Amino acid sequence: MTETTPRKTKRARTATIIFGLVALAAAGGWALLIDAGRKMPVREATVDGIEMRLLEARWILDQMDHGDNFQKPATMMPGMPEYGKQRVTLSLQVTNRSPQPREFRGEEFQLTPEIGEPLPPIGAQTGYANLLPNQTFNTTLHFDLDTRKPHGRLRAVWQHGDEAVYLPIPEPSEHAHLLPRGQSTPLPGDARLLLPIGKPENGQQLYEQVYGCVACHGPISTPGTNNVGPHLAAIGLTARDRIEGTSAAQYIYDSILEPNEFIAPVCRDGLPCEQPSAMPEYGSLVSLQDVADLVTYLLQEQTLEGVVQ
């Protein structure tokens, strides 16, 4: 039986609607991908001739807390965060790459938690400059965040005109204000309190060339090539379970600065590692930036092959 024209028309319309919905979904997916790409955190950006570089983002210790949870009166520490809040400081370098004068305003920055409202900088009036061509200006911006509340992922955003630039912010450390009143249990250390933002490409160069870590630990990508010390493939996975309550970043940080504090159980050919450690004392040699770069590089190289026991 031959299909009638109305039925053919109905099928054609249905196919057209389905095709349109698929096209809209695909377009929406691409739009989401493009939007996500625009919100990727960066450390450097140029907007309207103003070149901005994030030198470091660092959480400072909560000066309103004592180990026994005694709350200092604000009058004892004027200008510090209120009890229950932590302060993150952004160190910025700004250069006018335009042939014309440009204004930089710290008030264009906000701390944007994934959960909660954006926060303006504290003392943003200090983050202002009228820059001549090729003039550079260094400044710091401070944000106070109530870390007792859920906040999710943190980023800073620089909104200059219609352009938005997102900056990476490390996770805040735990502090005594998160414990019940009267509880004096010491909290584990957190290297993120001390370290600037790490650059893994610099860490690889430090590991392989500058400090010669590769001579004892071997290339990260080639398990079994270690000489004296343990091989560090997947150290980001194994370090988090080495010492209870100690993060992988903190473990690596401590191992670089105080190699005898904890001796890894297995070194070359499955044999116990030497005690005391044969690792040199790098504490007086490395800068905080070097340590941050090394920690970031080692945490990035997380493969399941050659896991150190």
Q: What architecture is the 44-187 domain classified under in CATH?
A: Sandwich (2.60)
Q: Edge to edge, what strands does the sheet with 163-168 contain?
A: 109-113, 154-160, 163-168
What per-residue confidence (pLDDT) applies to 302?
52
Q: What is the pTM of this model?
A: 0.49
Alpha helices in the chain (DSSP H): 5-38, 200-205, 213-217, 235-238, 248-257, 288-300
Query: With contact defined as beta carbons under 8 Å apart, do 274 and 267 qualify?
Result: yes
Contact 239, 248 (CB under 8 A): yes
Lowest-confidence region among 7-11, 163-167, 231-235, 295-299? 7-11
- The 10s digit of each residue's pLDDT in 188-225 is 456 655 677 788 899 999 999 988 899 899 998 888 88
The pLDDT score that the predictor gives to residue 287 is: 79
Q: Which pLDDT does position 189 carry in this prediction?
A: 57
Element (H, E) at 51: strand 50-59
Per-residue pLDDT, averaged over 123-146, amounts to 85
φ, ψ (nearest 5 deg) of residue 241: -110, 0
3-state secondary structure at position 158: strand
Which tokens hold the place of 72? 């200092």
- If one looks up domain 200-300 in CATH, what number appears? 1.10.760.10
Site of tokens 């060339």? 209
Confidence of residue 32 (pLDDT cuts 50, 70, 90): very low
d(CA 158, CA 282): 37
Residue spans of the domains in the chain: they are 44-187, 200-300
The Cβ of residue 301 has, within 10 Å, a number of other Cβ atoms equal to 19
- Lowest-confidence region among 20-24, 64-68, 247-251: 64-68
- What sign results for the dihedral spanned by CA atoms 168, 170, 171, 172? negative
